[in-house]
Structure 1
Amino acid sequence: MAKTVISMDQLKALWHSEVQDERKWAANMKLVRALGVFAGGVFLMRNFGDLMAV
């Protein structure tokens, strides 16, 4: 297996490319919101789903 070495400069470049670009930042925020809503829905249904049953 090949070892890949990731330097701090590469991580910084990735961070700046994802955060500083307005379009990428907007897409990332949409993804984070969608994952948050999904996780919140799963949490609520697992903990309080029996109260919602008819």
Structure 2
Amino acid sequence: MKLITPYGVNDLVNLQCRPIPSFQKDNAHLDIYRERVQRKGWAQRWPLLTISDL
């Protein structure tokens, strides 16, 4: 397995989900992030995952 982690592995090993830096800049991008998290059901699939939108 090969991991490509341009922002590090801390979020991965700590079960944290948050938008990438370019999506943190405005509400339009945050809305896309929130919709994707909801649509994919990440909170239900991984109950220990911490989801934040900063």
TM exceeds 0.5? no
Q: TM-score, normalised by structure 1?
A: 0.36
Q: TM-score, normalised by structure 2?
A: 0.36
Which has more helix, going by share of residues? Answer: 1
The higher-RCO structure (CA 8 Å, 6+ apart) is: 2
Which has more strand, going by share of residues? Answer: 2
